[in-house]
Structure 1
Amino acid sequence: MSEAATRTRISPRPWIGLAIWLGYLVLVAAIQAASGIRYDTWNDSARDLFLGGGVSLIVASIALVITTSVLGWWGPALHEDHRSRHRWPLIAPVLAALAVLMNLGGTDWGAYSGAFFGASVVLMLVGFTEELVNRGLLLTALRSRYTEVWVWLISSALFAIGHLINVALGASVAATVPQVLTAFLGGTIFYVLRRTTGSLIWAMVLHAAWDFSVFAAGVGDSGDLVSVATLVYVLAGVLAFASVAFVIKDADRGARAR
């Protein structure tokens, strides 16, 4: 268990993290389903994007702030006691950031209205909610029992599996399965970013920027850069997967030192 985790109000346990992960999915899915707006039509209008996705993220953000405060887990959820000694794995998050810029460069900004832009900004809360759940609270809970390789694998796998709720919300299976696989690689990118910087904040920012850029590129007629951006993001995920062993080894070494 990390040094910060020993100072929490409620001791971290794997079941608590799993309950938070499941509760978050149920809450978000229930609110989005109640809106009556299919996931694959969010980009149709600012109203559909805000009601279909934005409202659920606002509610979930409030619920997560309350939950994290009650548990007293802000410290271990947001910060590493000992970040990775290796900095070169940052190449994966840097490539992911480049993919974000490529998406934004290929976006048809002329098709954007002020209202749609506002709804898109609200959607960036996904960076806060999904990172706090998966690589914040769930990670903290898993570290109370499992070695770091299992912490990375379980948290990344559950992050990916969570995207399956999109099928229940109207997305096609054919479109969702690749999204799940990409999410596992993306989860590894964000895990590497947390371990190398020592903070979850940067992962929240990158996650929010990526999701924003994906929805932005889906408005109007996107340019050729968008297709290339997807390939660059997948490449970043593959590089993160190839380098994750180095940041895991550093985490295990820090745990033994404590």
Structure 2
Amino acid sequence: MSAPESTSNRFKRFMECGGLWRAMVFIAVYLALYTGAGLLAGKLFDDRIGDEPFGDTSTLFFELTLSLLVGSALLLAAVAALRWFQPLFGRQPVRGRAWMWIAPAVVVLAIVLRAAGTDYGRYSAGVIVLAYATGLLIGFAEEILARGIAIHMLRRAGYSEPAVMLLSSLLFALMHATNLISGQALGTVLLTMGFTFVFGIAMYLSLRATGFLIWPMLLHALTDPSTFLAVGGIDETAAGTSNTFTTLAGATLPAYALIAILSLFLVRGRAQPEKLMQG
């Protein structure tokens, strides 16, 4: 009589089959744990959380950073259990094209403009440092989910690269629907999801152009905190700002949409099975 299969082996076998619905299940479970950690932190440390997320380091840490630390640890444990460090962080199995460098160039331009347009006098030095440290966690967690695990699972299931690009970006956008739980207005959440879809395509192209997951992670890690600090909040807009640099950064939004449209016609290819390294 054979021994029962361990939970870790069942998890590994489930994930290695790849495919869209398995990626959705994994992301849903992660989001439930991540959101639960955030809600628990809000209950336990309510007296240390103020009204403004970037008002002080205590509020920022317990409202945002702590749950990201928990989520990042969970993702590291999952990748270690799957032995997917090499396929996720090694060179991409599908070569990029020269035109794809347009995407990271636009992302860098937006980051520089927002950084130049930020009124740093509004924040303490500790808040600024913690905001960028938190950005590293955001970049790591969201990119390893959407451009790492999700893309790897879609490729393992044999999806073409146009489908991989669109589906991983859609999953990335849907991840932000959880902002409804934190009390954000539906309109704000829908706008955020629209932006994250086209931004997700830009991150996919950055992954292809650079060949390594670490670069979209770093671009994402700088995008969020530079945006938060420039506009004064999470998922706020720069509407009404009189700062020239911030206004110009907001003008890059149509560029993301244009890049996404062009990508529908230009992205081609399919990952070869032998290049998708086994864990």
Alignment of 1:169-248 (within 5 A): 169-219=182-232, 223-243=243-263, 245-246=265-266, 248=267
Cα distance in structure 1, aligned partners of 2:100 and 2:51:
34
2:24 matched residue in structure 1 = 18
Where do 1:30-41 residues align within 5 Å?
30-36=36-42, 41=52
Q: Deviations over 1:118-146 (max 9, x none)?
A: 32023211001000001100111111222
| Greater share of helix | 1
- Per the alignment, do residues 66 and 54 of structure 1 end up closer, same or farther by CA in structure 2, a change over 3 Å counting? same
**Alignment partner of 2:212: what SS?**
coil
Q: Distance in 1 between matches of 2:144 and 2:86?
A: 12
Deviations 1:56-106 (A, max 9, x none): 11111111111101111122222312312x212211220111011111111
Higher RCO (CA 8 Å, separation ≥ 6 residues): 1
- Number of the residue aligned with 1:99: 110
Which residue pairs with 2:119 in the alignment? 108
Flag the 1:34–1:93 CA change in 2: closer, same or farther, 3 A: same
CA deviation map 1:195-242 (0-9, x unaligned): 121111110011111001111113498823213212214413422441
**Quick check: 1:77–1:139 contact (8 Å CA) kept in 2?**
no
Provide the C-alpha distance between the structure 2 equivalents of 1:154 and 1:39, rounded to a whole number of angstroms.
37
Structure with higher Rg: it is: 2
Q: How high is the TM-score relative to the length of structure 2? A: 0.80
Secondary structure of the equivalent of 1:143? helix
Instruction: State the one-letter code of the partner of 2:70.
Output: V
Distance 1:210 1:244 in 2: 24
**Alignment CA distance shift 1:187-1:39 (3 Å):** farther
| Alignment correspondent of 2:139 | 127
- CA–CA distance in structure 2, aligned partners of residues 28 and 131 of structure 1: 15
Structure 2 spans left out of the alignment, 5+ residues = 1-11, 234-240
Equivalent residues of 1:157, 1:184 under 8 A apart: yes
Q: In 2, Cα distance between the equivalents of 1:120 and 1:181?
A: 24
CA separation in 2, counterparts of 1:208 and 1:234? 21
- Ranges in structure 1 where 5+ consecutive residues have no aligned partner: 1-8
Q: How many residues align?
A: 246
Question: 2:190 is aligned with what amino acid?
Answer: V
Aligned counterparts of 2:182 and 2:52: Cα–Cα separation in 1: 10
Alignment partners' CA distance in 2, 1:191 and 1:99: 17
Quick check: 2:55–2:123 contact (8 Å CA) kept in 1?
Answer: no
**Residues 224, 182 of structure 1: CA spacing in aligned structure 2 closer, same or farther, 3 A cutoff?**
same
Q: Which residue identity is paired with 1:19? A: V
Q: Which amino acid aligns with 2:245?
A: L
Paired position in structure 2 for 1:168: 181
